[in-house]
Structure 1
Amino acid sequence: MLRGSSLRRIVNSGRILSTRSYSTQPVVGENGEQEPKFLQQVGLYFDKAANTTLHEPGLLQYIKEVDSLYEFLIPHETINADGKRVVKTIRAYRAQHSHHRLPTKGGIRYAPDVNRNEVMALATLMTFKCACVDVPFGGGKGGIAINPSEHNVTEIERITRRFASELIQRGIIGPAVDVPAPDYGTGMREMSWISDTYRAFRPNDINAMGIVTGKPVSQNGIRGRNEATGLGVFYSVRELVEDDEIMRSVGLTTGIKGKKVIVQGLGNVGYFAAKFFQENGAKVVGLGERFGAVYNPDGLDVDDVNTYHKVKHSLVGYPRAHTLLQNSADILEQDCDILIPAALEGVINLTNAHRIKAKVIGEGANGPTTPAAAEILEKNGAYIVPDLFCNAGGVTVSYFEWLKNLGHVQFGRLTRQAEEKGKRNMIDKLQTLTGRELSSAEYDVLTRGAAEKDFVYSGLEGTMKESYKVIRQISKDRQVNFRTAAYVSAIDKISLCYQEFGIWP
């Protein structure tokens, strides 16, 4: 293995020293207005919420800042187009925003434009996301600046294991320190490699499987994690569209049934969000991915579109679309009631916000709506279900997986048979008293005990319901939008943690 990668912890008493950006140029609106970059956007949202609280300014500033950023280079040996062996350096990052709760938690993304500002922004957002939905983690995020499509599986595994080994050897990640998860460009496969690498370095750690979440079920993952973020998007938007007062204000009926939905993004989050909307009576009229989009006002079959996409790796040429769009961003502007941007940050911005027709925007991605665009949408009467609440399903179920790994027992294993026995006794007694015999199918449904996925779905649904109630109440009491209310909820909880445990004087 090549040696000599340099690791730098860019901190000074827990504060960032340098924020030099490697990100792309900011979005410029049609009238020349320049929008802030992602990290600045998160800061603006935080400041707006913080100004509505009575917390000490010093404490608010401490909560806002990123605690630690780890940046290092990974040497990667490959073969170039001429058949020669060359060594390239790949930049990698791990940011930890807040240690008010441990471990810190957040995904790892693989993308060519990953940079320090992006992982700092995402780590910051993760802290507030966890606090908003009462998941006891601090925020973290990591990334490797590579395009996975340009590397074969062997190369990706080598890069992933090297990334993990650099972090593990320096104690930067661990089941009680910092727990990564999948993000854009990564999945269960990469999490398995990181888990295996950790066990090689820490063979005596009984809680080793808690090093990452989002693992396959066969590797001590949890049932329901794969669809968790998309399901959380559905639950959060459902809570809003069942709010009669809000629906009357935007001229829509309450409930999911019959609503026209567009989802941009056919990755894990977008696919499952679209699937759950469709299964609950919504009409999915548009689906988009990076190489194009399809639209049909009469509705699309989500699974049919997804199957075509898996085979063709594109939506171009899909035969059952009313309209084919070459530019994926154009799908955002089509007619619908609910819009779910579930791809990347900044897709709704000054260049297109005034053409968005949806009255409800559920942020399946992190930071898909810029601050200026959000103002335009809300001025036009739309409601935004903010990212730090809307897409918190993933980290919520990751929390359940982490608890399962530390508890070393599958949810439902101790209770399912007892629950089924109790239900059978009750149903048998009712059949005797009423004289009515149930069919085998009815009997099985009524006496089935809760399995692991049932616990996960129930826990996630309850989390989203309770968090929505808190956000809605803050929004009413302080006359602020849902995003500001979600940040206020998070800030209040983090501040209380610092003060009650004596971390802040």
Structure 2
Amino acid sequence: MANALAPEAHYNFFSSVERSFDKAAQFTKWEKGILEQIKACNSVYRMRFPVRVGSSIEVIEAYRVQHSHHKLPCKGGIRFSEEVNQDEVMALAALMTYKCAIVNVPFGGAKGGIKINPRNYTPFQLEAITRRYTAELVKKNFIGPGIDVPAPDYGTGEREMSWILDTYMSLRPGEVDGLGCVTGKPIAQGGVRGRKEATGLGVFYGLRELCNVKEDMEKLGLEPGLDGKRVVIQGLGNVGYHAAKYFYEAGSKITCLIEFDGAIYSEKGMNPDEVLKHRQETGSILNFPGSKNLTINMEGLEVDCDILIPAALENVIDADNAPRIKAKIIGEAANGPITPEADEILAKKGVIVVPDMFLNAGGVTVSYFEWLKNLSHVRYGRLGKRFDENMNIHILQVIEDLTGKKVSAQERKFIAHGADEVDLVYSGLEETMYTALHEVREAYMKNPKINDMRTAAYVAAIDKVGASYEQLGIFP
């Protein structure tokens, strides 16, 4: 069975981002010099440092790229992967700039990476590598709550963020806002509730809102809403699983799930929680009861469906397989899953591609909420939750007295509930994705020469970043 999750990349990732930028730039008002400044990576820090691994010393290659300083701090995840290279990190940092602009998060874009396979190291060795990396960032002033705020990415999570925080605080003792130097932390160390599911939930909110736009659905021959829509998801990691979970709960049918070791298909749909349980018990999603295995996992991308969600790696849809894609909507939960050549093919076919730089911004949005929480030094909902509950109960009591009717205990509990942290995080994320989708869609609709939502998203992002530079007075 084929086990390649994605075809080998044959082009420069950063150049493809610049190519998309240039395509959109012609639809903006900014002069060439400003566009060049927006497009350029401001700072690239490539480092090598020694770490003892077992009985030998290993030299680790790592990066931190700050793409834009139009707003500070810079923001972007840190990934641990053998595939990490300068080109990839620069491209992802650029996408972070545009992503933050689209969802109205006041950060410049950044990205980091350490060129290792974390499976080859013990937790103790990973801790040593992470702490040394953090010390190198501190040394060059590439981390701090007002400078550059990392977050989890591929191969990292709460554990690595807690190591970064502890290292930073030990090197910057007494810094009152020090908790804001990194996001994606455990709750006990200043993290925010809702961060883990944020990206997958953001994907759900964004695509749900698109599917509620009646005129767009009519063009695709679909009914508005998510109920009954056939969904294919590539990647059952954190993002893919949560996206699948929320679509399933909304009444969609998860007809195909794709992983590195194979793909499974069921016309009736599958419960992602049951698939996850099956994988935990057997080590694979293959042979899930009620489904059939696909001979080649990448064939799952070509299954007939309404919504396709690539939530794994870059370049999985290219000029070769794009003509065979049958999905009517593609939601890019992963970074860069569609090549520029494939973009053109899909646009001609009338497929709506909801771009990564908007759709997977749920993570950075909730990271922004975590950063604000750290700077305010108070948990969301702590000040107002009880007041709201008491007020709601009082209003309900007045209405019951006036009408002579009583609500059920279940309804009383729902009405009385005051928002706690996770409620406010979900609400803020939903509002962010709703607003951003319609901003991108507006840019798409008002210019008939723009033939895809990715270009429209770049136009919206470029305009916001350009306006920031103009307001700073950098270009008199």
TM-score tier (shorter): over 0.9
Q: What is the number of residues matched between the two proteins?
A: 469
Give the distance between the partners of 1:496 and 1:417, measured in 2 at CA.
41
| Structure 1 residues 255 and 25: alpha-carbon distance in aligned structure 2, compared to 1, 3 A threshold | closer
**What does residue 339 of structure 1 align with?**
308
Pick aligned residue for 1:403 from 372, 381, 388: 372
Q: Aligned match of 1:235 in 182, 187, 205?
A: 205
Contact map agreement 2:7 2:315 (CA 8 A) in 1: no
The answer on 1:350 being equivalent to 2:325 is no
Q: Is the 8 A contact 2:227 2:250 kept in 1?
A: yes
Q: 1:99 aligns with which of 58, 69, 83?
A: 69
Pairwise CA distance, 1:325: 2.8
Residue in 2 that maps onto 1:271: 241
1:257 aligned partner, one-letter code: D
- Letter paired with 2:430: E
Letter in 2 for 1:494: V
- Deviation at 1:328? 3.1
| Runs (5+) with no aligned partner, structure 1 | 1-23, 28-34, 80-84
**Greater mean alpha carbon deviation, residues 172-181 or residues 280-289:** 280-289
How far residue 380 of structure 1 moved from its aligned partner, in angstroms, is 1.3
In the TM superposition, residue 338 of structure 1 has moved relative to its aligned partner by 0.2
- Alpha-carbon distance in structure 1 between the residues aligned to 2:209 and 2:343: 20
Unmatched tracts of structure 2, length 5 or more: 1-5
Are residues 153 and 325 of structure 1, via their aligned partners in 2, closer, same or farther at CA, if it must alter by over 3 Å? farther
User: Kindly tell me: are residues 77 and 392 of structure 1, through their superposed partners in 2, closer, same or farther at Cα, counting changes over 3 Å?
Assistant: same
Q: RCO higher in 1 or 2 (8 Å CA, sep ≥ 6)?
A: 2
Q: Does structure 2 conserve the Cα–Cα contact (< 8 Å) formed by 1:308 and 1:318?
A: yes
**What is the alpha-carbon distance in structure 1 between the residues aligned to residue 301 and residue 130 of structure 2?**
34
Partner residue in 1 for 2:407: 438
- Runs of 4+ with >6 A deviation: none
Give, in angstroms, the shift of residue 124 of structure 1. 0.3
Which residue does the alignment assign to 2:474?
503
Calculate percent identity across the aligned residue pairs. 52
Corresponding position: 1:47 with 2:22: yes
Q: Which residue of 1 aligns with 2:3?
A: none
Structure 2 partner of 1:15: none
Equivalent residues of 1:343, 1:365 under 8 A apart: yes
Q: Which residue of 2 aligns with 1:310?
A: 280
Shift of 1:493: 0.7
Shift of 1:311: 3.8
Give, in angstroms, the shift of residue 302 of structure 1. 0.6
- For residues 179 and 149 of structure 2, the distance between their equivalents in structure 1, rounded to whole angstroms, comes to 10
Contact 1:71–1:93 (8 Å) recurs in 2? yes
The letter of the residue matching 2:441 is R
Residue 345 of structure 1 aligns to a residue whose secondary structure is coil
Alpha-carbon contact 1:233-1:391 (below 8 Å) kept: yes
Q: Secondary structure at the match of 1:172?
A: coil
SS of 2:313's equivalent in the other structure is: coil
Q: Which residue of 2 aligns with 1:59?
A: 34
> In the alignment, what sits opposite 2:118?
148
Match of 1:86 among 46, 56, 62: 56
**Which residue number in structure 1 is paired with residue 432 of structure 2?**
463
Query: 2:459 is aligned with what amino acid?
Result: V
Separation in 2, partners of 1:419, 1:134: 28
For the residues of structure 2 that align with 1:438 and 1:25, how far apart are their CA atoms? 58
Q: Return 325-334 or 181-190, whichever deviates more.
A: 325-334
What is the rounded CA distance, in whole Å, between the counterparts of 1:39 and 1:129 in structure 2?
15
Shift of 1:240: 1.3
Equivalents in 1 of 2:396, 2:464: separation in Å?
44
Q: What residue identity is the alignment partner of 2:47?
A: F
Q: Residue 378 in 1 paired to residue 373 in 2?
A: no
Partner of residue 73 from structure 1, selected from 48, 52, 75: 48
The answer to whether the Cα contact below 8 Å between 1:109 and 1:183 also exists between their aligned partners in 2 is yes
Partner of 2:453: 482
How far apart are the structure 1 equivalents of 2:265 and 2:241?
15
1:60-103 deviation per Cα after TM superposition (whole angstroms, max 9, x unaligned): 01100101111111323234xxxxx2222221000000000000
In structure 1, how many angstroms separate the alpha carbons of the residues matched to 2:236 and 2:170?
35
Separation (CA, whole Å) in 1 of partners of 2:225 and 2:25: 33
TM-score (norm 2): 0.96
Deviation at 1:25, TM superposition (A): 9.8
Q: Is the aligned partner of 1:492 residue 2:463?
A: yes
What one-letter code is carried by the residue in structure 1 that aligns with 2:14? Answer: L
- The answer (yes or no) to whether the contact 1:291–1:326 under 8 Å persists in 2 is no
Deviation of 1:439 after TM superposition, in Å, equals 2.2
Contact 1:292 1:324 in 2 (8 A): yes
- Inter-partner Cα distance in structure 2 for 1:496 and 1:420: 42
**Is this contact kept in 1: 2:7–2:316, CA < 8 A?**
no
